[in-house]
Structure 1
Amino acid sequence: MYANHQDQQILPGDFFLPFGGRLSENNRWVQLSYLIPWRRVEQEYSKHFSKDVRGGRAVSVRMALGALIIQEREGFSDRHLVQHITENPYLQYFIGLPAYQEEPPFDPSLLTHFRKRLGPDVINQVNEWIVQAGLKDEQNGDDDQNNNEPPRESGQSEVNSQSKAEVQEPQTHQGKLILNATCTPADIAYPTDLSLLNRAREKLEDIIDTLHAPHKGEVKKPRDRRRQARRDYLRTAKNRKPSRAEIRKSVGRQLRYVARNLKFIEQLVHCTPLMALSRRQYRDLLVIGELYRQQREMYQSRSHRVDDRIVSIAQPDVRPIVRGKAKANVEFGAKVSISVVEGYTLMERTSWDSFNEGSTLIESVERYVERFGYYPETILADKIYRTRENLQYCKDHGIRMSGPKLGRPPKQVDREQKKMEQQDMGERNAVEGKFGEGKRIYGLGLIRTRVRQTSETVIAIQLLIMNLEKRLRLLFLLILGELFGTDFGTTVVIA
């Protein structure tokens, strides 16, 4: 059962502390609590629950979303997150508790359900509300953070009040849209054909043991030769510089061991149904079946390429993403396409399969129009976005796209054009800075969740936190401007 939590946000001074004192209004968690549209998220969150009065009361959206923001911002594990919330009154205020309590507000196991319940769609919607309100505050030069109500809701209502005609047929161009894509690596070991087949063989051996257990002593156990298979694997794995012929020979052996085990499982199924397996074992069996097919196809064709290649049995959704970087030519994880508008980061597309990011330009521009009600003046992107289709689309809609014209370069260099290209290149580096900020500080460099949906939720939360941090820096500079009589707002817009 879920009950709507429509209570107004309490002030820090009203938060009850049993040991005396009061919370500081200048604390970062207090300020962050004013930047999130809790009521709007409550409406989206409540859609995932039934109206049945039976059952326990679900956790409020503020507690669920607030806990996930704290976890990704500070890098806590599930258990450590609950411990820190229990010990810190500011964190308890941030997740919506009215008073300090010594008992944990929820069990650590609920965090997985929080990530599944909210999902990337809800998080991306919250992120757009925050960005729209932030841009509105920067344009108006107003500091709405001293109000008791989150400033996000008032900003979003005015943006949404535009008519559909204004959104479908914008008459003005405003702002710059920066586009780029990156890979968010998953927390998996570097995959090789030999290691994947060895891991598959070990899992199949456990499945054989489970299926044979009910008939132990009655039916002879299949001879899977696991000790010999282990020795064959280690002979090559422990070799520092095995030759290609040796690796191929070892891969062929492991393929035969896996095929032998799969055949034994087909025989055991006639005696013991697959329902005897756990959910994880049944899922691994399905993944290994596809993995064996792919590895056998590559082994027979003497190639290392196959469609939808599996690189992890535990996370079969992960795909190799070729990025061509100096540090790592291939990364393993979800590919994320983002846009940057006035320093704010927005999600454009998340895919576990590799895609050409140039194909996302048109839909990114259309989404820009839906968000803000007008086309961008300029699009800053690298060469892969400069296709004939994209250039023609920008020309038809009066949008300038960065970079030189297609075709042979002119004999005489236009200095003004060259200067503009260099300026565009410098401004486009802002998106690279966002990638570096997300990967080095907020955890985009290594996604530790193991399920596809929860991984997408974590990626969306990372972008949301980056925008919240930008708004928090804006608030800090506006406070400095009031203290010293200097206008720091323009500095924030340029940054």
Structure 2
Amino acid sequence: MLAKQQDRSQHSLFFSLESTLNHKHPLFILANKIDWEMFEREFSPLYCPDNGRPAKPIRLMVGLLILKHIRDLSDESVVEQWSENNYYQYFCGEQEFQPRVPCEASELVHFRHRIGKEGIELILRESIRINGKDSNDKDVYIDTTVQEKNITFPTDDKLAKKIIKRCWKIADRNSLDLRQSYRRILKDLSYDQRFRNHPRNKGKARKADKKVRTIAGRLVRDVERKLGTMVDGYRNELDLYKRVLAQKKKDKNKIYSLHEVDVQCISKGKEHKLYEFGNKVSITRTGSGVIVGALSFRNEFDGHTLDKAIEQVEKLTERKPRNGICDRGYRGRSKVRDTLIHIPKSFSKALSTYRKNKERKYFRKRAGIEPVIGHLKEDHRLSRNYYKGITGEQSQAASAIYINCL
């Protein structure tokens, strides 16, 4: 149910946030630039008008989402700090200080699910609009990066041990009498797996790894037998364990995490980090530094992401970019929709000196997107994705671009 409209026409005689706060503070200025009524119009149809418990105000929820990414906070932290920060409260529409938390942290999760990917893009569009002429550049610079999921570095041994622990939990929950728990044996095997890089220990560690996988398979089969008629409730979980234990080193579409089965293994050619586990994110920015596009992908070739990236720019800015400047990872594309794609390559002898200098200027300026991506990762939650599943990846990719609001 929609929240009841509050009467804001009458302010406190002695105290109000607007008269107390510094009008030059970035959050105060930003609060008066954003078109909050637009969010009310667009998000109101997502609520039932006259049934159920009244929801929190839409401005409050949208403001908390923006603050979360501007200040690099978790859901729990932004809710806690809101009750202590006058600027946060004014940004979210309060006229007087409220000494309480605005909502439960879980309500931000429900609100993200309610507005979906389209709602997040609407917030991104508004962040583009408040930058004015800086977002009207005819040239866009495009690059991709990897946003890692919040998982540990995957190894076969880690996955096997997690499967064993989950089998123990299923057995305890359903009072199953396992044929053998292998707890003492696993403790001894963990000693054999230490210092595996030493030449004398490699063979012993490999044998221990193989034994751990064997034990995991035995426990899965034993739990499946002992569950009897209750096995249908654990069918998907047990099938996942069997698939993990059966996968080989060279297999495609491998599972790297039990709680995030959609994680992709992505190689970006980094010397210090050969593989990253998460999803690919495409970032599009103008020459003046305004980010006008952000999309999440699985593990597509960079050139295959251009169509959707350019389409999103046209949708959010309501204009068609003339030139798209990319790196060599996008090779093979020369034109997407009505946008010309420029990729570094050896110049033709027939190319004029003016055109060569123009291309060089493009490619030098394109390098400016690299520190922007680094800034997003370091300060605006793009480095690691804490959201669940593929839907969370799409939401995180677009919501990390509240850097435009700074």
Tell me the distance in 1 between the aligned counterparts of 2:149 and 2:13. 40
- Contact 2:75–2:108 (CA<8 Å) still a contact in 1? yes
Shift of residue 462 of structure 1? 1.4
Shift of residue 443 of structure 1? 2.0
> Counterpart of 1:439?
377
1:176 aligns with 2:139: yes
Tell me the distance in 1 between the aligned counterparts of 2:18 and 2:306. 55
Note closer, same or farther for the CA distance 1:69–1:366 as it changes in structure 2 (3 Å cut).
closer
1:2 aligns with 2:32: no
Note closer, same or farther for the CA distance 1:222–1:38 as it changes in structure 2 (3 Å cut).
farther
Shift of residue 368 of structure 1? 3.6
- Contact 1:33–1:94 (CA<8 Å) still a contact in 2? yes
Note closer, same or farther for the CA distance 1:179–1:6 as it changes in structure 2 (3 Å cut).
farther
State the superposition RMSD in angstroms: 3.3
Task: Return the match for 1:57 from 54, 57, 72.
Answer: 54
Correspondence list, 1:369-384, <5 A: 369-384=314-329
Tell me the distance in 2 between the aligned counterparts of 1:240 and 1:420. 52
- Contact 1:72–1:458 (CA<8 Å) still a contact in 2? no
Task: Return the match for 2:240 from 290, 310, 335.
Answer: 290
SS at match of 2:142: strand
Tell me the distance in 2 between the aligned counterparts of 1:316 and 1:24. 48
Tell me the distance in 2 between the aligned counterparts of 1:62 and 1:397. 37
- Contact 2:295–2:394 (CA<8 Å) still a contact in 1? no
Correspondence list, 1:136-147, <5 A: 136=133
Shift of residue 38 of structure 1? 1.8
Letter of the aligned partner of 2:121 in structure 1?
A: N
Correspondence list, 1:28-427, <5 A: 28-51=26-49, 53-136=50-133, 175-212=138-175, 220-237=177-194, 239=196, 241=198, 245-270=203-228, 272=230, 286=236, 289-298=239-248, 304-341=249-286, 342-351=288-297, 353-387=298-332, 390-391=333-334, 393=335, 397=338, 399=340, 401-404=342-345, 415-427=353-365
- Contact 1:379–1:400 (CA<8 Å) still a contact in 2? yes
SS at match of 2:345: coil
Note closer, same or farther for the CA distance 1:234–1:347 as it changes in structure 2 (3 Å cut).
farther
1:453 aligns with 2:391: yes
Note closer, same or farther for the CA distance 1:452–1:17 as it changes in structure 2 (3 Å cut).
farther
Cα deviation, 1:265-310, whole Å, max 9, x if unaligned, reads 22122154565xxxxxx5xx73563354244230xxxxx2322222
Cα deviation, 1:368-389, whole Å, max 9, x if unaligned, reads 44444543232211123231xx
Tell me the distance in 1 between the aligned counterparts of 2:17 and 2:403. 34
Cα deviation, 1:454-479, whole Å, max 9, x if unaligned, reads 4432332211x11111xxxxxxxxxx
Shift of residue 80 of structure 1? 3.1
- Contact 1:236–1:247 (CA<8 Å) still a contact in 2? yes
Shift of residue 416 of structure 1? 4.1
- Contact 1:404–1:421 (CA<8 Å) still a contact in 2? no
- Contact 2:280–2:299 (CA<8 Å) still a contact in 1? yes
Shift of residue 65 of structure 1? 1.7
- Contact 1:16–1:98 (CA<8 Å) still a contact in 2? no
How many residues were matched structurally?
Answer: 404
- Contact 1:358–1:385 (CA<8 Å) still a contact in 2? yes
> Counterpart of 1:146?
none
Letter of the aligned partner of 2:90 in structure 1?
A: Y
Letter of the aligned partner of 2:210 in structure 1?
A: G
TM-score scaled by structure 2?
0.86
Note closer, same or farther for the CA distance 1:374–1:448 as it changes in structure 2 (3 Å cut).
closer
Note closer, same or farther for the CA distance 1:319–1:297 as it changes in structure 2 (3 Å cut).
same
Identity value in percent: 22
- Contact 1:288–1:313 (CA<8 Å) still a contact in 2? no
Cα deviation, 1:129-158, whole Å, max 9, x if unaligned, reads 33145244777xxxxxxxxxxxxxxxxxxx
Letter of the aligned partner of 1:449 in structure 2?
A: Y
Letter of the aligned partner of 1:399 in structure 2?
A: L
Note closer, same or farther for the CA distance 1:114–1:371 as it changes in structure 2 (3 Å cut).
closer
Q: What 5-or-longer segments of structure 2 have no aligned partner?
A: none
Shift of residue 413 of structure 1? 8.7
Shift of residue 428 of structure 1? 0.5
Letter of the aligned partner of 1:26 in structure 2?
A: K
Shift of residue 257 of structure 1? 1.3
- Contact 1:319–1:332 (CA<8 Å) still a contact in 2? yes
Tell me the distance in 2 between the aligned counterparts of 1:421 and 1:19. 51
Q: What 5-or-longer segments of structure 1 have no aligned partner?
A: 140-173, 214-219, 276-281, 299-303, 470-495
- Contact 2:17–2:95 (CA<8 Å) still a contact in 1? no
- Contact 1:310–1:317 (CA<8 Å) still a contact in 2? yes
Note closer, same or farther for the CA distance 1:108–1:440 as it changes in structure 2 (3 Å cut).
same
Note closer, same or farther for the CA distance 1:7–1:377 as it changes in structure 2 (3 Å cut).
farther
Tell me the distance in 1 between the aligned counterparts of 2:25 and 2:84. 16
Tell me the distance in 2 between the aligned counterparts of 1:296 and 1:458. 32
Tell me the distance in 1 between the aligned counterparts of 2:104 and 2:374. 33
Tell me the distance in 2 between the aligned counterparts of 1:418 and 1:288. 60
Letter of the aligned partner of 1:2 in structure 2?
A: L
SS at match of 1:202: helix
Cα deviation, 1:72-130, whole Å, max 9, x if unaligned, reads 22233433323321112221111122321212221233233233333332111221233
SS at match of 1:350: strand
TM-score scaled by structure 1?
0.72
Tell me the distance in 1 between the aligned counterparts of 2:341 and 2:271. 31
SS at match of 2:147: strand
Shift of residue 69 of structure 1? 2.0
| Structure with the higher fraction of residues in helix conformation | 1
